[in-house]
A and B are shown apart, each in its own frame.
Chain A
Amino acid sequence: MNALLFNSTLVIYAIATILYLSCLVRTEPKVGRTAQLVLGAGFLVHIAYTVDRYFEAGHTPITNLHESLSFFSLATVGIYLFCEYRYKAYILGSFVTPLALLILAIAATFSGIVAPLNPALKSKWLTVHTVVAFLGYAAFAISFGVSIMYLIQSHFLKKRRLGPLFQKLPPLDLLDAISYRCLTFGFPLLTFAIISGAIWAETAWGTYWSWDPKETWSLITWFIYAALLHGRLTTGWRGRKAAMLSIVGFLIVIFTFLGVNLFLGGLHSYK
């Protein structure tokens, strides 16, 4: 049942991704609407999978790489659907759904077996810390996708290459606004995740901060986004510069999450 739900989600997201990508070349508004419906359906199945897993495991299912990546993907799709509804631009999906699909596909490569919970993780903080962290990551993921669109669109405008793709992509200012909105949503969540993590560390390990690789890299991520938001408010880091920084920020998020787990080890490793 659980595996079926997971595989269904994977297939539906794949279909949605193909539909969203075809929005880049097709003109019929039908394609976008269909893509939206398919992705919405996939999201519901994905929620069902996560809830089912919660009851099967008896705790929040974000305790190994498979579960974390799956939740990451779920949060990305959820926030994306909200953005699409809010900004009425389904073309954003062409750049965000491939990412969500990729994350879920990576999740599929890790074992999905429900294992007994590591005693160190048995805490009410598990839910708070992880859910908040991944919601923040998801917001950064969308900012990342939108920033790539910004760079493409800005390149087209500068080089006066105003082809069909240029016509399809949203206005620069809208992309900038969406990216900024996502950062202002994600940044407080990241901050909260770090603070809640520190408190949890104090109760579990007796120290707020132990310079574990994950903690260090999270702090680097935090500084990048803090610099980006600060720069924007004071000297106006907008447009290309902001877009590039957001892209760098997200790449570090990915490294913090995957790289640290797979290569650096430490207390946050799922091993």
Chain B
Amino acid sequence: MNIIVVGLSHKTAAVEVREKVAFSPTQMEKPLQAVVALPDITEAVIVSTCNRVEIYATTRDVAGGMARLKRFLADYHNVPLEMLESHLYSYHGEDATRHVFRVASSLDSMVVGEPQILGQIKTSYGYAAEYKSSGIILNRFLHKAFSVAKRVRTETKIASSAVSVAFAAVELAKKIFGELSDKTVLLIGAGEMCELAAKHFINTGVRGVMVTNRTFERAEKLAEEFSAKAVRFDDLFDHLPKADIILSSTGAPHFIIHEKDVEEVLRRRKMKPMFFIDIAVPRDIDPKVNNVENAYLYTVDDLNGVVATNLEQRKVEAAKAEAIVEQEIGQFFKWLSSLEVTPTIVALRNRFDELRKAELAKTLSNWKDLPPGAEKKLDALMNAYMNKLLHQPTSVLKRTDPGNRNDLYVDALRNLFDLGDAATPQEVMVDLED
């Protein structure tokens, strides 16, 4: 049995193409069942996100299966296959496994290390499990992908650093304050970047937000949007001591907050640390503020620097992650090959043979007055009996007609007779917990 994947992603297709073949998450039953109904396709999982559309399937006929999946993708969405063909990639066997491990570990993402993709694949797998289009092989396949992703996440720092300026600001604030839930953010002026950063802080959970602007009406409008408190610009220094995190981006041509102001403000708030983020160009906050005890000032360039370092760091971590993926591919294939028929039949025969020999030896050792030649006859009897017992299951296993799920029988046999390498019930069960 072979695992194949056919699909396209942000690396091979522009959004105009991707959106044409995307599957709606609310209607997964129909396409999933249509795929498993295709000739020679036994299991299927469809992953459809804004960055990729992929169909994973198991088949006995790799080339034919891939062609059928491609045809299905085109026909289902009424797109000419010729138009799609150049954007599609297809993998089988080891390459398909490497692909799913990399996708789940977010190594194939647009922003390497972003964590959403794992959840999206889990949801996709959830549909496949719900509509029973995935079976023993794809179950194990995806569970392995989830565990690889988890290993990558815990053993590398691929997703542990911020790669956007707004997020970097939040991460830094956490390094100063720890918990942000009792901290107040003050927004001075308005600007896209500033508002984005404010939103990040609100999403992380801060106690309160204050907004101030030269035009009070604009401050009020923004305050309403963030359910924040509007403050008059002239009262800025009255409110500054209440703020822990200050986001500034006014259009002022000169500094509006100076070293002396900050010294005074810090005294008034008993030296509790303050985090200034200056996103304005030209700058709003005198760089000397960073010299004030317990005041930390970061400009947009500093934050860009943080992001650049983090992206570099991610590249290093990605290399570690790739090594983990390679390791795990080997393990998965060991299991997959155990599902092959011939080695299972050999293992089963060996197991029966062992039992036969052991029982025979036990009987003969207690049997003193055995007539000559009887030993041979007993052996032959046992052998014939064993062959008769094994004949039927063996011939069923060897059948290759379509629809015969001998991978299931193989796994069952390995379980029933303890032949090793069987999937555990937990792995066969759907487990969507983290």
Contacts and interface: CB of A to CB of B under 8 A. Distances in A.
A28 B305 CA distance: 27
Contact of B290 (A158, A170, A236, A237): A158
Interface residues on B, range: 20 to 34
Given A29-B154, A238-B294, A241-B293, A166 B175 contact: yes
Interface string B230-251: 0000000000000000000000
A162 B273 contact: no
B175 A239 contact: no
Interface string A195-217: 00000000000000000000000
A240 B293 contact: yes
A174 interface: yes
B306 interface: yes
B176 interface: yes
Interface string B124-162: 000000000000000000000000000000111100110
Given A29-B154, A158-B290, A236-B272, A167 B174 contact: no
A170 B176 CA distance: 9
B176 A162 contact: no
A171 interface: yes
Contacts of A160: 298, 302, 305-306
A109 interface: no
Interface in B162-178: 172, 174-178
A172 B273 contact: yes
Contact of A172 (B175, B179, B269, B298): B175
Contacts of B362: none
B342 to A, nearest CB: 41
Interface string B289-318: 010011010100010011001000000000
A139 B5 CA distance: 61
Contact of A27 (B157, B172, B177): B157
B155 A28 contact: yes
Contacts of B391: none
A167 B273 CA distance: 19
A171 B175 CA distance: 4
Contact of B177 (A28, A167, A171, A241): A171
Contact of B175 (A27, A157, A238, A240): A157
B30 interface: no
B176 A171 contact: yes
A171 B294 contact: no
A238 B270 contact: yes
B319 to A, nearest CB: 14
Contact of A236 (B155, B160, B271): B271
B157 A239 contact: no
A172 B293 CA distance: 13
Contacts, number: 63
A25 to B, nearest CB: 12
A237 B266 CA distance: 11
Given A167-B160, A173-B177, A240 B309 contact: no
Classify the interface of chain A: helix, strand, loop or mixed: helix
Most B Cβ at <10 Å: residue of A153, A166, A173? A173
Interface in B258-295: 267, 269-273, 290, 293-294
B264 to A, nearest CB: 13
Contacts of A172: 175-178, 273
A235 interface: yes
Contact of B176 (A29, A167, A173): A173
B303 to A, nearest CB: 10
Nearest to A163: B309
A173 B155 CA distance: 28
A88 to B, nearest CB: 12
A171 B172 CA distance: 9
B178 A239 contact: no
Interface in A218-243: 235-241
Contacts of B294: 238-240
B178 A171 contact: yes
16 contacts: A28-B154, A28-B155, A157-B172, A158-B290, A158-B296, A160-B305, A166-B175, A171-B176, A172-B273, A173-B177, A173-B178, A236-B269, A237-B271, A238-B272, A238-B294, A239-B273
Q: 3 closest A-B pairs (Cβ-Cβ)? A: A236-B270, A171-B178, A236-B271
Given A171-B178, A238-B270, A240-B293, 20 more contacts: A27-B155, A27-B157, A28-B155, A158-B296, A162-B172, A166-B175, A167-B160, A170-B178, A171-B174, A172-B175, A173-B176, A173-B177, A173-B178, A173-B273, A235-B271, A236-B267, A236-B270, A239-B273, A240-B294, A241-B271
